[in-house]
Amino acid sequence: MAAKRPTVTIKEVAEAAGVHFSTVSRALSPATRARVNPAIVARVEETARRLGYRANTAASSLRTRRSHMVGLVVPDLASLLFPAILNGIEHTLQEQGYLTIVADTANDPERHRRILSAMVERQVDGLILASAMLHDAVLDEWLDGPAPIVLINRTDDSGRAPAVLSDDLRGIGLAMEHLAGLGHVRIGHVAGPQTLSTGATRRRGFAAAGAALGRRALPVAEAASFSREAGRLACAALLDAHPATTAVVAANDLLALGCYDALTARGLACPGDVSVTGYNDLPLMDLVDPPLTTVRFRHRDMGAEAARLLLARMAGQETAGDVLLRPELVLRGSTAPPSAAVGRGGAGPAAGGRRSPPRARR
Amino acid sequence: MAAKRPTVTIKEVAEAAGVHFSTVSRALSPATRARVNPAIVARVEETARRLGYRANTAASSLRTRRSHMVGLVVPDLASLLFPAILNGIEHTLQEQGYLTIVADTANDPERHRRILSAMVERQVDGLILASAMLHDAVLDEWLDGPAPIVLINRTDDSGRAPAVLSDDLRGIGLAMEHLAGLGHVRIGHVAGPQTLSTGATRRRGFAAAGAALGRRALPVAEAASFSREAGRLACAALLDAHPATTAVVAANDLLALGCYDALTARGLACPGDVSVTGYNDLPLMDLVDPPLTTVRFRHRDMGAEAARLLLARMAGQETAGDVLLRPELVLRGSTAPPSAAVGRGGAGPAAGGRRSPPRARR
DNA sequence: ATGGGTTTTGCAAACGTTTGCTGACACAAA
DNA sequence: TTTGTGTCAGCAAACGTTTGCAAAACCCAT
């Protein structure tokens, strides 16, 4: 099958079907199909199929100024957060005939610039950015560009582009209420980088929820990045400064895993000695040890929602402001009531210290 | 900044710089830059920058028949295997000035068809497919197409497209040797779908390694898909048929996690009663309980290698056959010498049955 | 000065579509 | 028969580049 294909164009189809090539164009495009005699439409379609005609989108987007492609820019493709988001974006765009170009900035602004430039040159009809910083110079350069922009997961502080976000204030609130409900009083926060909206907002949420519970000035340690290692360091710092801490709210799951490491390193058990909560509910968080209590929002929905928002904007519609996804708390094994013990301090690297007590899973 | 941009073209730059527009084209393209007076190049570049000129790739690829885009097709974006692979692909392509379009077939052949069609219409210069089936009709249709194809992670049986693969025979062999070395004799295989090369090859590897150890006809249970649930079912079937099994080699990590579930369900401990190995070393496999002994290959390298292969083919070079990545065994907590106990059979749903013994991590 | 050779620039024709206009034709009403 | 009203197909001009070809400009040696 599949005869060697020396690119057949609309003109060759026209010749074979015995009509003018403009008629072929009209016959093949859903929008104009109605304007041509049904008999001819049928004939043209049949010839096109027979010759193996494939439209050349480069030509058509040159003429129409629409490429039916959108660009997705992420800070780190390898993160476990993106597969589901990307999946949501890609599916809803695909349904509308759009293809998705994705690129990874590796957190490098220069690279970010180059990528956006390359995408715009490819005439993308719109952009979804998961790469926004809180004060984002790169973003500024493109807000007036030809392609509408939607932010996802993170936002910037200009408010000039609509964003699809988890409702972090509420999400962190849920975690705090849960811990307070268990009886925790000495709660600390391992915050994410304050240059990112997620880091900053969750920290604000932590302070606000603390205040609501009548506890001002709960301790916070800021991690240098959203990574397990940074979480370990920040948690260690937190525990050094506040050894009596019985619960830590981590700004995301990776940081929470780092907290596990820090606890293990000083022979503390989770949740026996210290409870830990995460944020995001990454895949497999139900399988780590102990299974992580964390705040979930539907990643796939976040992607789909961003895609829908972008589709609306590309269609020229004005859109209301940001979209906040409702978070929910998922209870697992990393949180428990505080133990009576007080004044711990011993460091020793006890292996296995953080095994959770047996508990039913799921 | 960023003045509202009403698309400035090469002609406007030409007028502003006082030269013919063809000169601008030559001045701006690295390949032809040498053919124009350096002073003019400088002037043109400066004016282009000043006016905020952005090349229109649609126009240039119409003329040159090169889009500098490649398509990547995966069966399931949400899988934990792809982020790293995609990362590898995207990075090495980006370095060469290519952008990556990715799409998800959701394992639907019709969708697969539409995606390939859409990508080819967008004039992609090449395709990387992670979606190949062993007998793949969809693939057949495109092998003679205009875009060179490279297969990744899976291959088909036609051998017509080069593939970048893990050396599964060797990888499974490593797992088998490890288990045999621990003293296991009654080893079973939870195989993946035999419609996929990974499923089929790993099964062959299992049989071959078994034979090499002097054990013919070791039991195999075939999972319906590469998923945790399918792994649970297959493992349960395996244990029903062969209750004395002391080790199971799963065809990938998800299946291995399903094996954990099956063991837990019948009150067996891993690795106390049954050892389990996986394949792929997905992220967080060091954190599940027990940490999974598995076969690793460098996912990112796989992506990078496929990209390089495609780059070569797009440059018109003939390439040697497939690329096999060397797998390595990573030893963790899910394997141990077989216990003396024999003739187990009790089913009871004992919670916590599969906790591993305390052991140092990393 | 003249001529030969080498850069450097301008000209214009593609590349494959879409789409506003015009013209051809058919049919119905006058 | 003429006129009017539609429907449908053809014509040709874009869209923004790249690039072969040829003219022009320059440099140097004669």
Closest nucleotide to A35's CA, by C1' atom? Answer: D8
For strand C, the positions having any atom within 7 A of a protein Cβ are 8-12, 14-20
Cβ-based contacts (< 7 Å) between A 121-150 and strand D: none
- Angle (CA) A13-A16-A19 rounded to 5° is 80
Contact B2 A145 (CB under 8 A): yes
Q: What is the mean pLDDT of chain B?
A: 92
A67-166+300-328 falls under which CATH superfamily?
Response regulator (3.40.50.2300)
Contact A87 B100 (CB under 8 A): no
Q: Using CB atoms, pick whichever of B106, B142, B283 lies closest to residue A80.
A: B283
Nearest to B307 by CA among B75, B46, B128, B48: B128
- Reported as a pLDDT band with limits 50, 70 and 90, residue A353 is very low
The secondary structure of residue B34, as a DSSP letter, is G
Q: Is B3 exposed, middle or buried (0-12, 13-18, 19+ CB in 10 A)?
A: exposed
Of the candidate CATH numbers 3.40.50.2300, 2.30.30.140, 3.40.960.10, 2.60.40.1180, the domain formed by B168-297 belongs to 3.40.50.2300
Contact B94 A115 (CB under 8 A): yes
* Dist CA B91 CA A83 (whole Å): 17
Nearest to A334 by CA among A265, A216, A249, A209: A249
Question: pLDDT for B51-70, tens place per residue?
Answer: 999 999 999 999 999 999 99
Which are the contacts of B292, defined by CB distance < 8 A and separation ≥ 6? B253, B256, B257, B276, B277, B278, B281, B285, B286, B332, B333, B334
Please give the average per-residue pLDDT across A292-315, as a whole number. 97
In this structure, of A39-48, A320-329, B4-13, B240-249, the range with the lowest mean pLDDT score is: B4-13
* Dist CA B342 CA B244 (whole Å): 7
The number of CA neighbours under 13 Å toward the Cβ of A246 is 18
Grouping H, G, I as helix, E, B as strand and the rest as coil, residue B252 is coil
Q: What type of residue sits at position A333?
A: G
- Reported as a pLDDT band with limits 50, 70 and 90, residue B362 is very low
Q: How far is B215 from chain A (nearest CA, A)?
A: 34
Which tokens in the block code for residue A22? 């403009």
- Angle (CA) A244-A345-B352 rounded to 5° is 80
Percent of chain B with pLDDT over 70: 92
Strand order across the A293-296 sheet = A220-222, A187-191, A247-250, A275-280, A293-296, A328-330
**Ranges of H-type helices in chain B:** 10-17, 21-28, 38-51, 57-64, 82-95, 109-121, 137-142, 168-182, 197-212, 228-241, 253-265, 299-314
What was the pLDDT predicted at B346? Answer: 39
Q: What is the mean pLDDT of chain A?
A: 92
Map out the domains of chain B as residue ranges.
10-55, 66-165+300-324, 168-297
Task: Tell whether the model's pLDDT for residue A359 goes beyond 60.
Answer: no
> Phi/psi zone of residue A107: left (φ > 0), alpha (ψ -120 to 50 degrees), beta?
left
Which tokens in the block code for residue A108? 């490098």
What was the pLDDT predicted at A361? Answer: 33
Question: pLDDT for B187-221, tens place per residue?
Answer: 999 999 999 999 999 999 999 999 999 988 899 99
Task: Tell whether the model's pLDDT for residue B354 goes beyond 90.
Answer: no
Grouping H, G, I as helix, E, B as strand and the rest as coil, residue A67 is coil
Q: Is the CB of B22 under 7 A from strand D?
A: yes
Instruction: Report yes or no: A175 and A329 within 8 Å, Cβ to Cβ.
Output: yes
* Dist CA A112 CA A94 (whole Å): 25
* Dist CA B280 CA B260 (whole Å): 16
Percent of chain A with pLDDT over 70: 92
CATH class of A168-296: alpha beta
Percent of chain A with pLDDT over 90: 89
* Dist CA A142 CA A148 (whole Å): 9
Question: pLDDT for A63-89, tens place per residue?
Answer: 999 999 999 999 999 999 999 999 999
Task: Answer positive or negative: Cα dihedral of A334, A335, A339, A344.
Answer: positive
* Dist CA A94 CA B103 (whole Å): 8
Contact A122 B99 (CB under 8 A): yes
What DSSP string runs through B273-321?
A: T-EEEEEE--TTTTTBSSPPEEEE--HHHHHHHHHHHHHHHHTT----S
Please give the average per-residue pLDDT across A245-274, as a whole number. 97
Task: Tell whether the model's pLDDT for residue A358 goes beyond 60.
Answer: no
Please check whether the two domains, B66-165+300-324 and B168-297, share a CATH topology.
yes
Best residue of B53, B79, B87, B144 to probe chain A, by most A CBs closer than 10 Å: B87
Angstrom distances, CA of residue B247 to CA of A128, A146, A193, B252, B294:
47, 59, 45, 15, 13
Contact A141 B59 (CB under 8 A): no
Contact B83 A87 (CB under 8 A): no
Q: Using CB atoms, pick whichever of A142, A287, A300 lies closest to residue B289.
A: A287
What was the pLDDT predicted at A5? Answer: 56
Grouping H, G, I as helix, E, B as strand and the rest as coil, residue A65 is coil
- Reported as a pLDDT band with limits 50, 70 and 90, residue A340 is low
Contact B58 A79 (CB under 8 A): no
What was the pLDDT predicted at B350? Answer: 38
Which are the contacts of B215, defined by CB distance < 8 A and separation ≥ 6? B185, B187
CB contacts of A94 in chain B (<8 Å) are: 103-104, 115
Question: pLDDT for B100-152, tens place per residue?
Answer: 999 999 999 999 999 999 999 999 999 999 999 999 999 999 998 999 999 99
Of B346 and B79, the structure prediction assigns the larger pLDDT to B79
What are phi and psi for residue A72, nearest 5 degrees?
-120, 125
Q: What type of residue sits at position A39?
A: A
- Reported as a pLDDT band with limits 50, 70 and 90, residue A320 is confident
What was the pLDDT predicted at B5? Answer: 56
Contact B142 A58 (CB under 8 A): no
Q: Is the CB of B194 under 7 A from strand D?
A: no
B66-165+300-324 falls under which CATH superfamily?
Response regulator (3.40.50.2300)
* Dist CA A173 CA B355 (whole Å): 32
What was the pLDDT predicted at B343? Answer: 44
Largest CA distance in chain A: 91
Task: Tell whether the model's pLDDT for residue B359 goes beyond 60.
Answer: no
Closest chain B residue to the Cα of A94, Cα to Cα: B103
Instruction: Report yes or no: B328 and B173 within 8 Å, Cβ to Cβ.
Output: no
What was the pLDDT predicted at B357? Answer: 42
What was the pLDDT predicted at B110? Answer: 96
**How many Å from the CA of A36 to C1' of D2?**
29
Task: Tell whether the model's pLDDT for residue A218 goes beyond 60.
Answer: yes
> Phi/psi zone of residue B159: left (φ > 0), alpha (ψ -120 to 50 degrees), beta?
left
For strand D, the positions having any atom within 7 A of a protein Cβ are 8-12, 14-20
Nearest to B301 by CA among B89, B74, B82: B89
Q: How far is A213 from chain B (nearest CA, A)?
A: 34
Task: Tell whether the model's pLDDT for residue A355 goes beyond 50.
Answer: no
Instruction: Report yes or no: A227 and A81 within 8 Å, Cβ to Cβ.
Output: no
CB contacts of A289 in chain B (<8 Å) are: 287-289
Closest nucleotide to A8's CA, by C1' atom? Answer: C16
CB contacts of A102 in chain B (<8 Å) are: 86, 90, 100-102
Task: Tell whether the model's pLDDT for residue A170 goes beyond 60.
Answer: yes
Q: Which residues touch strand C (CB under 7 A)?
A: A 7, 9-11, 21-22, 25-26, 28-29, 31-32, 53-56, 59-60, 62-64; B 19-23, 26, 34-37, 40, 59, 62-63
**Ranges of H-type helices in chain A:** 10-17, 21-28, 38-51, 57-64, 82-95, 109-121, 137-142, 168-182, 197-212, 228-241, 253-265, 299-314
Which tokens in the block code for residue A94? 């695909």
Instruction: Report yes or no: A142 and A116 within 8 Å, Cβ to Cβ.
Output: yes
Grouping H, G, I as helix, E, B as strand and the rest as coil, residue A51 is helix
